Amino acid sequence: MGIRGTEVAKEAADIVLLDDDLQSVVAGIEQGRLCSENLRKSILYTLCSKVPQAVPTFAELLGVPTALTVAQVLLIDIGTDIWTAIAFAWQPAESALMSVPPRDPRKERMVTPRVLAYSYGYIGMLQMALCFFVFFHAVPEMWTMFEHGTFLHVKDFSAADRDHNYRGMTSYYWTLVLAQVAAAMATTTTKESLFAYGLPNLMLNLCLVAEIAFALVIIYWTPAEQTFKTRGLTSQQMLWGAVGFFVIFIIEEIRKFVLGLREKEALAKSKVTRRNSREEQQELLQAFEP
């Protein structure tokens, strides 16, 4: 105890309660868990976009037109993702935070195979597939150029093909930005639905709005178009990009809904098991009564 405790006890203690209130221990543990959980969520979000950023480079070896340039990758990493990742520090706790067993720091690291599987094998692959889907469908000329199999760099295209390729790059970039917005919203909760949890993190909400606004500037501002090889998209092409947001958002909500049902079933079974166990104990006690 920090107030009533002796100096000897304070020096020997591992934890000193400054207000002599045992509830402070629970509050401290909850805050520690919240910091650890928010850091994990920030890592989850940051790693999601790495697959759709890297795959276009290797796809060019198969004759796919350039889908994303190095400058556009940096726009996502430095221009938008880094600020959104930092905003996770203000994320409030989920309702079930203290009901989860504590993490063993010696066995369960912050970046686990499960984290990598979620970011790279699940959300990352989903983002990559959606970005290429929009890349070929929002700008059909991209598929035509791919079918020709010319294996030309964008600099070697004709002026018309180069303009089509820039428009295809822009559609890929726009889809990835919206897909990252969906990833940010998905990673704010582990199992709880966003319809129940809401969007309580004002800093994160502002970063998501700024992320979309920044992407629109890159797409439609003429100096940015010339610098980052983007082109203004039509309203239909912009709507194609929204596929990246809605598909990830809906799939994540379905996943969390299924996880919630499984947890409720497991909880109901455990209650039934405990009740049956108590009834058996009572029957045994009654059997031995004189």
The predicted model scores a pTM of 0.85
| CA atoms of 122 and 101, how far apart (whole Å) | 25
User: What pLDDT does 191 receive?
Assistant: 85
Distances (CA, A) of 222 to 47, 209, 229: 31, 21, 10
| CA atoms of 57 and 72, how far apart (whole Å) | 12
Residue 149 has pLDDT above 90, yes or no: no
Q: What mean pLDDT comes out for the span 153-171?
A: 86
Comparing 52-66, 165-179, 260-274, which segment has the lowest mean pLDDT?
A: 260-274
Q: How confident is the model at residue 289 (pLDDT cuts 50, 70, 90)?
A: low
Comparing 4-13, 105-114, 121-130, 235-244, which segment has the lowest mean pLDDT?
A: 4-13
Q: Percent of the chain scored above 70 by pLDDT?
A: 87
Q: What mean pLDDT comes out for the span 8-29?
A: 71
What mean pLDDT, rounded, does the chain reach? Answer: 86
Domains along the sequence of the chain with CATH: 7-263 (1.20.1110.10)
Secondary structure of the chain: what % helix, strand, coil (to 5)? Answer: 75, 0, 25
User: What pLDDT does 11 receive?
Assistant: 72
User: What pLDDT does 2 receive?
Assistant: 52
φ and ψ of 237, to 5 deg: -65, -35
In tens, the pLDDT along 53-80 reads: 999 999 988 889 999 999 999 999 988 8
